[in-house]
Amino acid sequence: MSSSLIIGQYVPGNSIVHRLDPRTKITVIFFFVFIVFFANSVFSYATLTVFALTTVFITRIPIRYIMKGLTPVWFLIVFTFILHLIVTKEGTVLFHIFGFNIYSGALIQGFAISMRFFLLILVTSLLTLTTTPIEITDAIEDMLHPLKKIKFPVHELALMMSISLRFIPTLMQETEKISRAQASRGVDFKTGPLKERIKAVVPLLVPLFVSAFKRAEELAMAMEARGYQGGEGRSKLRELKIEKIDIAVYLLFALAVAIVFYTRN
């Protein structure tokens, strides 16, 4: 059961990518997503691909594991490729298949767009593969900090996220306990028509909600007893720190961006 309790798809590790400041990772990935749309030459695609694959290599996460995570997306990539193959009518006709003329331009275009897709998803999944949810929460809190000026509840949002993360396993364990208790009373979760099975969820959800509210109330009291009075004047144990390696990553990424812009048509 404990294996099913891993939240998200984080793969523990101690690589440079794992140890990078989460803000660095989020920033680089955010801009990478933009830059991918600017690539339009073989060389610019190659640069981005090398950048992405090198990162994957550094994380030491098995390629097979990453690819497995991308399974739902493969369909989309292949679909995009075929769509472009059929629709685009540029260049010379290469061959004829199922009543369609396949143009050389279509092949190139199909490859380019699928590549774009693949890079986008690969790089964004690297964030969740190498960063714990709580690190992402910390990074978001820090990066949204300027929004405090317009009274956006940044600290509260981050606290909500971290408490949710803390309670996901607890509530999952509880769900399992309740579903066993209800099964022992004759509730059938697994067989019967869909409508019946949906109905069977009700005796599971009601006690779960009741207990979640009770937990929330007790937690609020415990937090208050331990001196919680909002984000004002709080210090933080988990510290985000931009190290030399982060700066190196920024510079490397800037270089990659420069190459992309230099080599695009």
Partner 1 sequence: MRNKFIEFRNVSFRYSDEEPWVLKNCSFEIYENEWIAIIGHNGSGKSTIAKLMNGLLFPQEGEIIINGQQVNEETIWDIRRDVGMVFQNPDNQFVGTTVQDDVAFGMENRGFPRAEMVKRIEQNLTAVGMQEYRLTEPHRLSGGQKQRVAIASVLAISPKVLILDEATAMLDPKGRMEIMRTVSNVQEEYKLSLITITHDLQEVVQAERVLVMNKGEIWDEATPREIFAKKEALREIGLDVPFVAILTDELKQAGISITNEPLNQEELLEDLWTLHSRT
Does position 54 interact with partner 1 (CB under 8 A)? The reply is no
Amino acid at 124: T
Angle, CA 54 vertex, CA 50 and CA 55 arms, to 5° = 120
Angstrom distance (rounded) from CA 90 to CA 43: 21
When asked if residue 225 is in the footprint of partner 1 (CB under 8 A), the reply is yes
Comparison of 2 and 265: residue with beta carbon closer to partner 1: 2
Does the footprint of partner 1 cover residue 228 (CB under 8 A)? yes
Q: Is 213 near partner 1 (CB under 8 A)? A: no
Q: What's the Cα-to-Cα distance from 145 to each of 151, 158, 243, rounded to whole Å? A: 10, 11, 20
Residues 6+ apart with CB under 8 A from 58: 15, 16, 17
Site string for partner 1, 175-204 (x = CB under 8 A): ------------------------------
Of 4 and 265, CB closest to partner 1:
4
Q: Are 134 and 238 in contact (CB under 8 A)?
A: yes
49 to 77, 86, 206: CA distances (angstroms): 16, 26, 49
Token pair for 156: 């509260």
Question: Is residue 187 a contact partner of residue 203, using CB atoms and an 8 Å limit?
Answer: yes
CB of 2 vs partner 1, minimal distance in Å: 7
Which residue in 94, 222, 242, 248 binds partner 1 (CB under 8 A)? 222
Q: Does 234 bind partner 1 (CB under 8 A)?
A: yes
Question: What is Dmax (Cα atoms) for the chain?
Answer: 75
| Residue 21 half-sphere exposure toward CB, CA atoms < 13 A | 20
**What is the Cα–Cα distance from 249 to 212, expressed in whole angstroms?**
43
Closest-CA residue to 58 (of 138, 123, 153): 123
The helix/strand/coil state of 121 is: helix
Q: Does 173 bind partner 1 (CB under 8 A)?
A: yes
Tell me: does residue 221 bind partner 1 (CB under 8 A): yes
Work out which of 3, 71, 92, 235 binds partner 1, going by CB under 8 A.
Answer: 235
The distance of closest approach from Cβ of residue 219 to partner 1 in the complex, given in angstroms and rounded to an integer, is 5
Rule CB under 8 A: choose which of 170, 176, 209, 242 binds partner 1.
170
In the complex with partner 1, which residue's Cβ is closer, 191 or 239? 239
- Closest separation in Å from C-beta 147 to partner 1: 21
Which one of the spans 112-120, 162-170, 194-202, 251-259 is the region binding partner 1 (CB under 8 A)?
Answer: 162-170
- What DSSP state is assigned to residue 191? S
Closest CB to partner 1 among 3 and 92? 3
Least distance to partner 1 from the beta carbon of 59, Å?
A: 21
Q: Name the site residues for partner 1 (rule: CB under 8 A).
A: 2, 5, 134, 162-163, 165-166, 169-170, 173, 214-215, 218-219, 221-229, 233-239
